[in-house]
């Protein structure tokens, strides 16, 4: 087995552990009613490269494409959004986040500046 293959397995394992941790936080939040237990640091997402877009309905937003990002960093962020069922109508964000994040389609992560005060 090559070193590259071993490293890929380690990264996949780390991503799975993180996704499991997010799932545990989700269960704790369900039991306690504390939604903030779900959130990770926004740096998990801001490390990605985003391209600016403008839509007729939602205005300015940004998209991170899997092909334009470091695969394990993109997958880590994607896993968190996927586990939290982040969609445009129910976006992922935490206390102090500048952006809200969601998934739509394959290989893309979306974000938009939060309008919350």
What is the C-alpha to C-alpha distance for residues 1 and 68, in angstroms, rounded to an integer?
28
Q: How many helices (H) and strands (E) does the chain have?
A: 3, 4
Span 29-58, pLDDT tens digits: 667 665 554 578 999 999 999 999 999 999
* pLDDT value of position 117: 52
- Looking at the predicted structure, is the pLDDT value of residue 87 above 70? yes
The domain limits of the chain are 3-113
* pLDDT value of position 35: 56
Q: What percent of the chain has pLDDT over 70?
A: 86
Average pLDDT over residues 13-27: 72
Average pLDDT over residues 85-102: 94
pTM score of the predicted model: 0.69
**C-beta separation of 80 from 22 below 8 A:** yes
């Amino acid at each position: 087995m090559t070193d590259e293959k071993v490293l890929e397995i380690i990264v996949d394992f780390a991503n799975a552990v993180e996704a499991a941790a997010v799932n545990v936080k989700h269960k704790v939040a369900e039991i306690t009613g504390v939604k903030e237990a779900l959130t990770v640091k926004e740096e998990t997402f801001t490390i990605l490269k985003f391209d600016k877009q403008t839509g007729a309905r939602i205005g300015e937003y940004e998209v991170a494409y899997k092909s334009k990002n470091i695969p394990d960093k993109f997958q880590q962020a994607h896993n968190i959004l996927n586990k939290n069922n982040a969609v445009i109508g129910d976006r992922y964000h935490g206390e102090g986040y500048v952006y809200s994040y969601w998934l739509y389609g394959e290989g893309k992560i979306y974000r938009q500046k939060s309008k919350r005060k």
